[in-house]
């Protein structure tokens, strides 16, 4: 009887599991679903095989425009463009409930973890890049009234073929009270400003900032790419999280490779796991390219008023490398102002020898 009661309880919980609850997928399959599965895609409306859209320079393409309530459960994109660094020049934006400013704003490559403008393959639980050049997100994105997703071509060349599938659930009932909204914010320093101090850092004043938010919510993770402007190991920076206006970080790490759950300079080998990885690893030399990610799906970093998530660029911020990142979090609306997106030319990964 106890086993039966446990099974019934487990199935009941699984039936109400969110779209990305891996443990609940199989268990919930026998349960009836109370949503309608829908998709917004680039399929050929004539019934032919030209299942793509072209995007002229300066043009914005709408990927999704639908009424709520609902939840975006999967985003798939692949791009055919002759322009180098089109991953840095196409800007992805997402708006929830007719808000005037986007909750997501990032170069499309950076959003999917490709922060240096080139494609590589990796797999994590929320984000993955498949062969060839297939960009995937499984991050759940709820909306109560309305959802709009766009991509804008800030490059010089026409995108010859932009394919997309946006899968979402149309709900018959409003979102549960207290549901938080998905946010993603792009940041960069190219180069970061080296701090020639005593080698001590308690306040994080000069740290690289992944994100700043006001409201109530939780930090879900970050993807980050680094271009080395000088020889040596760039990863002695500690992560520092300042929660609800703290002057001293209540979460303080022991090194960059430690935060991204590697060790010893990542051992010189790329790796990609469900919650953490370093899929792009180089030698410790000027010009080397690195990409890393960490997702806090097991235990997001919570905040009730504000959060400032940062990391040192070198020991006490003593290195002047190029950093590019996207932070992912959930929070109440309205959200705080995002920093202006840097101009296209400033987003391109260019070497600055010795941080000049």
The per-residue pLDDT for range 45-95, each reduced to its tens digit, is: 999 999 999 999 999 999 999 999 999 999 999 999 999 999 999 999 999
Q: What's the pLDDT at 24?
A: 81
Instruction: Residue 222: count other Cβ atoms within 10 Å of its Cβ.
Output: 26
**Candidates 3.40.190.290, 3.40.50.2000, 2.60.120.1390, 3.20.20.370; CATH matching 181-355:** 2.60.120.1390
Tell me the two tokens of residue 143: 């909306």
Q: Are strands 35-41 and 134-137 parallel, antiparallel or unpaired?
A: unpaired
DSSP state of 354: G
pLDDT more than 70, % of the chain: 93
Question: Using CA atoms, how far apart are residues 166 and 340, in angstroms rounded to an integer?
Answer: 27
Q: Are 235 and 321 in contact (CB under 8 A)?
A: no
Compute CA 66 distance to the chain's CA centroid, rounded to the nearest angstrom. Answer: 22
**Candidates 3.40.710.10, 2.60.320.10, 2.60.120.1390, 3.40.50.720; CATH matching 32-171:** 2.60.120.1390
Is 89 strand, coil or helix? helix
Q: What's the pLDDT at 25?
A: 85
Q: Give yes or no for residue 132 having a pLDDT over 60.
A: yes
Q: Are 328 and 139 in contact (CB under 8 A)?
A: yes
Question: Using CA atoms, how far apart are residues 110 and 255, in angstroms rounded to an integer?
Answer: 23
Q: Give yes or no for residue 319 having a pLDDT over 90.
A: yes
The predicted model gives 240-254 an average pLDDT of 97
Tell me the two tokens of residue 37: 């599965």
The predicted model gives 248-258 an average pLDDT of 96
Sign of CA dihedral 273, 276, 278, 279: positive
> Which pLDDT band holds residue 19 (cuts at 50, 70, 90)?
low
Least Cα distance to 275 among 217, 220, 212 occurs for 220
As annotated, the residues of the chain forming the CATH 2.60.120.1390 domain(s) are: 32-171, 181-355
Q: What's the pLDDT at 144?
A: 98
Q: Give yes or no for residue 97 having a pLDDT over 60.
A: yes
Least Cα distance to 220 among 135, 150, 280, 309 occurs for 309
Q: What's the pLDDT at 300?
A: 98
Q: Are 94 and 88 in contact (CB under 8 A)?
A: no
Q: Which residue has the higher pLDDT, 332 or 2?
A: 332
Question: Using CA atoms, how far apart are residues 29 and 121, in angstroms rounded to an integer?
Answer: 30
């Amino acid at each position: 009887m106890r086993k039966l009661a446990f099974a019934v309880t487990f199935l009941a919980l699984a039936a109400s599991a969110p779209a990305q609850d891996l443990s609940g997928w199989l268990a919930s399959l026998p349960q009836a679903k109370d949503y309608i599965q829908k998709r917004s895609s680039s399929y050929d409306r004539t019934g032919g095989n030209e299942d793509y859209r072209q995007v002229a320079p300066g043009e914005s393409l709408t990927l999704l425009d639908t009424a709520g309530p609902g939840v975006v459960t999967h985003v798939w994109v692949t791009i055919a463009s002759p322009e180098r660094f089109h991953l840095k020049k196409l800007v992805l934006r997402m708006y929830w409930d007719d808000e005037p400013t986007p909750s997501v704003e990032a170069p499309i490559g950076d959003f999917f973890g490709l922060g240096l403008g080139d494609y590589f393959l990796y797999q994590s639980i929320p984000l993955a890049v498949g062969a060839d050049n297939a960009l995937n997100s499984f991050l759940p994105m709820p909306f109560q009234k309305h959802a709009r997703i766009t991509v804008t071509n800030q490059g010089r060349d026409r995108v010859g073929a932009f394919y997309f599938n946006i899968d979402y659930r149309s709900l018959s009932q409003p979102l549960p009270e207290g549901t938080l909204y998905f946010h993603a914010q792009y940041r960069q320093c190219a180069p970061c400003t080296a701090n020639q101090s005593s080698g001590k850092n308690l306040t994080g004043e000069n740290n690289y900032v992944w994100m700043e938010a006001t409201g109530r919510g939780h930090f879900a993770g970050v993807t980050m790419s680094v271009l080395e402007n000088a020889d040596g190991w760039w990863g002695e920076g500690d992560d520092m999280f300042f929660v609800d206006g703290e002057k001293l970080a209540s979460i303080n790490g022991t090194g960059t490779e430690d935060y991204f759950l590697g060790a010893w300079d990542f051992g010189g080998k790329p790796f990609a796991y469900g919650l953490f990885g370093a899929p792009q690893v180089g030698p410790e030399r000027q010009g080397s390219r690195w990409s890393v990610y960490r997702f806090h799906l097991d235990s997001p970093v919570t905040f009730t008023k504000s959060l400032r998530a940062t990391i040192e660029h070198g020991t006490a911020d003593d290195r002047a490398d190029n950093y590019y990142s996207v932070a992912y979090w959930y929070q109440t609306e309205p959200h705080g102002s995002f920093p202006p997106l840097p101009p296209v030319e400033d987003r391109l990964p260019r070497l600055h020898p010795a941080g000049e």
